[in-house]
Amino acid sequence: MQFIVLDLEWNQPMTFQGGGYRAAHGKLLFEMLQIGAVKLDSELQICDTFNQLIQPSCYFRIHPHIRKITQITEDDVADAPLFAEAYNAFYNWCGEDGVLLTWGCDDISVFDQNIHYFGCQQPLPPVYDLQQYFGQLIGSPKERKSLKGAMEYYQIDPNENKSFHNAVNDAYYTALVFAHMQAPEKVLSFPLKARTLVHQDRRKRTTVSVHRASRGPAAVIKTQFAQRTPCPVCGKLSPLSAGYVKQGSDRYTALAKCDNHGLYYSRLHFYTDEQKVRQAERVTALIEEQNSAYVSTKILQWQNKLSVQMDEKEQKKQARELKKKAKPTGETT
**Is residue 98 a contact partner of residue 126, using CB atoms and an 8 Å limit?**
no
Instruction: Give 204 or 246: the residue with its C-beta nearer to Zn ion.
Output: 204
At 125, is the secondary structure helix, strand, or coil? coil
Candidates 23-31, 260-268, 278-286, 318-326: pick the segment binding Zn ion (CB under 5 A).
Answer: 260-268
Expressed in angstroms, the distance from the first to the final Cα of the chain is 87
Rg, Å, the chain Cα set: 28
Minimum separation from the CB atom of position 26 to Zn ion (A): 18
Instruction: Give 62 or 231: the residue with its C-beta nearer to Zn ion.
Output: 231
Minimum separation from the CB atom of position 241 to Zn ion (A): 13
At 9, is the secondary structure helix, strand, or coil? strand
Of 212-251, binders to Zn ion (CB under 5 A) are: 231, 233-234
What's the rounded Cα separation, in Å, for the pair 265 and 277? 25
Cα–Cα nearest to 101, from 57, 139, 150, 66: 150
Among 261, 278, 298, 305, binds Zn ion (CB under 5 A): 261
Minimum separation from the CB atom of position 211 to Zn ion (A): 21
Count of other CB atoms within 10 angstroms of residue 5: 26
Closest chain position to Zn ion (CB): 231
What's the rounded Cα separation, in Å, for the pair 110 and 249? 43
Instruction: Give 47 or 234: the residue with its C-beta nearer to Zn ion.
Output: 234
Minimum separation from the CB atom of position 262 to Zn ion (A): 8
Minimum separation from the CB atom of position 260 to Zn ion (A): 4
Give residues in contact with Zn ion (CB under 5 A): 231, 233-234, 258, 260-261
